[in-house]
Amino acid sequence: MPADRNGGPRHLRRERRGRHSAVRWHLGLSSACAVIAFAVIGALLLVFSHGGRSQPVAQSGPSAQREDDRVADAERRASRGEQRTGDTPSGQPSASASGGQQPSPAGTAVPAPPNTTTAAPAKPAPAPTVIAPVGGLTQAEMKNAVTIVRTGQEQKLPNRAYVVAIATALQESHLHNLANPNVPESLNLPNEGVGSDHDSVGLFQQRPSWGTVAELMNPAEAARRFYAALVKVDGWEQMAVTVAAQTVQVSAYPDAYAKWQALAEQVVATVAP
Domain contains 26: no
Confidence at residue 49, expressed as pLDDT on a 0 to 100 scale: 58
Domain contains 265: yes
Average pLDDT over residues 152-171: 98
| Residue numbers of the domain that contains 161 | 139-271
Give backbone dihedrals phi and psi of 183, rounded to 5 degrees, phi first: -125, 85
C-alpha angle with apex 43: 42 to 47, nearest 5 degrees? 120
pLDDT band at 4 (very low <50, low <70, confident <90, very high): very low
Domain contains 9: no
What is the pTM for the complete model shown? 0.56
Confidence at residue 198, expressed as pLDDT on a 0 to 100 scale: 93
Average pLDDT over residues 100-110: 53
Task: Kindly tell me if the per-residue pLDDT of 216 is higher than 60.
Answer: yes
Task: Kindly tell me if the per-residue pLDDT of 93 is higher than 50.
Answer: no
Residue 148's H or E segment, with its range, is helix 139-154
Alpha-carbon gap, residue 273 to 260, rounded angstroms: 19
Average pLDDT over residues 18-28: 60
Domain contains 194: yes
Confidence at residue 206, expressed as pLDDT on a 0 to 100 scale: 97
pLDDT band at 54 (very low <50, low <70, confident <90, very high): very low
Domain contains 53: no
Confidence at residue 35, expressed as pLDDT on a 0 to 100 scale: 61
Average pLDDT over residues 243-255: 93
Task: Kindly tell me if the per-residue pLDDT of 179 is higher than 90.
Answer: yes
Task: Kindly tell me if the per-residue pLDDT of 89 is higher than 50.
Answer: no
Beta strands in 41-136 (DSSP E): none
| Structure letter (DSSP) for residue 256 | G
223 and 153 Cβ atoms separated by less than 8 Å: no
Please indicate whether residue 110 or residue 121 has the higher confidence score (pLDDT). Answer: 121
Confidence at residue 13, expressed as pLDDT on a 0 to 100 scale: 56
Domain contains 187: yes
pLDDT band at 78 (very low <50, low <70, confident <90, very high): low
Domain contains 120: no
pLDDT band at 119 (very low <50, low <70, confident <90, very high): low
Alpha-carbon gap, residue 12 to 6, rounded angstroms: 11
What is the signed CA dihedral for 187, 189, 190, 191, rounded to 10 degrees? -30
Average pLDDT over residues 222-244: 97
Share of the chain above pLDDT 70, in %: 59
Confidence at residue 1, expressed as pLDDT on a 0 to 100 scale: 46
Domain count, the chain: 1
Domain contains 249: yes
Alpha-carbon gap, residue 219 to 216, rounded angstroms: 7
214 and 199 Cβ atoms separated by less than 8 Å: no
Please indicate whether residue 108 or residue 167 has the higher confidence score (pLDDT). Answer: 167
Alpha-carbon gap, residue 136 to 263, rounded angstroms: 9
Confidence at residue 55, expressed as pLDDT on a 0 to 100 scale: 46
Please indicate whether residue 113 or residue 174 has the higher confidence score (pLDDT). Answer: 174
Alpha-carbon gap, residue 63 to 6, rounded angstroms: 85
